[in-house]
Amino acid sequence: MSRKKKSRIEVTFIYIFFLVMFIIIGYPLFWALMMSINEGSNMLVTDLFPKNPTLEHYKWLFTSPNSDYVIWYKNSLYVAIVNSVGSVIITSLIAYAFSRYKFVGRKYGLYMFLLLQMFPALMGMVALYILLNTIGLTDSLYGLMLIYLGGQIPFNAWLVKGYFDTIPKELDEAAKIDGAGHLKIFWTIMLPLAKPILAVVALFNFMAPFMDFLLPRIVLTSPEKYTLALGLYNFINDQFSTNFTRFAAGSILIAVPIALVFLLLQRYLISGLTSGATKG
């Protein structure tokens, strides 16, 4: 078999693989989209495209007095933005300290971060609920944000610290010779060069409140404080509820802010990579 023919076969298999993966990933999304524009409340879409497509379910989510969808959307956006921005700030400061300074307990602190990542979040749900109940933050978005911010520190700190370690320390030393202090070095050198990894941290922590169901289920009890995942669950969980089409419409709209944030951070990701290549 010639090399050219062998190369064509390999490329063909690669395209087939990507096609299969696209179908596996895209079919549920397509099915949810078709169900969201289907009439009635039936979860089954018998035709590939609904015969009488409608946007009535989307309209109901935002205009019906019986719908709290707008409130849930605001709650999720609020928690997601605070979690994303707060995680970037806290994580970058912690990672910078562990990457650049040597202090008592540094080694064991890193081991502790590594150890905390090995246990699933489910193991600490009861303890977290008791903690929030003790400080009076149950059924509160602030309590939810506190757990998100604290729970992401070990993984994010390891991730960002590893990236900080790749930035030459000679840049720090040159800045110190020019009279820069620790905060200025962190702000003007480390953060611009670390934009790619900080963009990843920001995106993942923005997505978490939209996708998470278990933690809000434990912490929040008032419907006006629900996040989207918890609120949409009640569309199909309540007794005699068959709001599958409204559930699908609400689920589709979750992707809108996540897609916008991804597009926004993608620009910073590219600029951060080129900046790091130029200054490195």
Q: What is the pLDDT of residue 142?
A: 93
In whole angstroms, give the CA distance from residue 198 to residue 278: 18
> Cα dihedral sign for 177, 179, 181, 183?
negative
| CATH tag for 62-279 (out of 1.20.210.10, 3.90.1280.10, 1.10.3720.10, 1.10.150.120) | 1.10.3720.10
In whole angstroms, give the CA distance from residue 11 to residue 128: 50
- Closest listed residue to residue 236, CA positions, set 42, 77, 50: 42
* Under 8 Å between Cβ of 147 and 132: yes
Record the pTM.
Answer: 0.83
In whole angstroms, give the CA distance from residue 217 to residue 212: 9
Q: What is the pLDDT of residue 274?
A: 45
Q: Which two tokens stand for residue 278?
A: 């130029």
Q: Which two tokens stand for residue 122?
A: 């489910």
In whole angstroms, give the CA distance from residue 274 to residue 280: 10
* Under 8 Å between Cβ of 148 and 79: yes
Q: Is 252 exposed, middle or buried (0-12, 13-18, 19+ CB in 10 A)?
A: middle
Q: How many CA atoms lie within 13 A of 81 on its CB side?
A: 7
In whole angstroms, give the CA distance from residue 200 to residue 206: 10
Q: What is the pLDDT of residue 87?
A: 92
- Closest listed residue to residue 231, CA positions, set 73, 105, 121: 73
Residue spans per domain, the chain: 3-58, 62-279
Give SS3 for 227. coil
Q: How confident is the prediction along the chain (280 residues), in pLDDT tens digits per residue? A: 667 777 888 888 888 998 999 888 888 888 888 888 887 766 665 566 777 888 888 898 888 888 889 999 999 999 999 999 999 999 999 999 988 888 888 888 888 888 877 777 777 788 888 989 999 889 999 999 999 998 888 888 888 888 888 888 888 888 888 888 888 888 888 888 888 889 889 988 999 899 888 889 989 989 889 999 988 888 777 654 667 888 888 889 998 898 888 888 887 766 544 443 334 4
> Cα dihedral sign for 268, 276, 158, 85?
negative
Question: Residue 147: what are its φ and ψ, rounded to 5°?
Answer: -70, -40
* Under 8 Å between Cβ of 263 and 202: no
Per-residue CA distances from 56 to 73, 125, 238 (Å): 18, 39, 21
* Under 8 Å between Cβ of 53 and 38: yes
* Under 8 Å between Cβ of 238 and 247: no
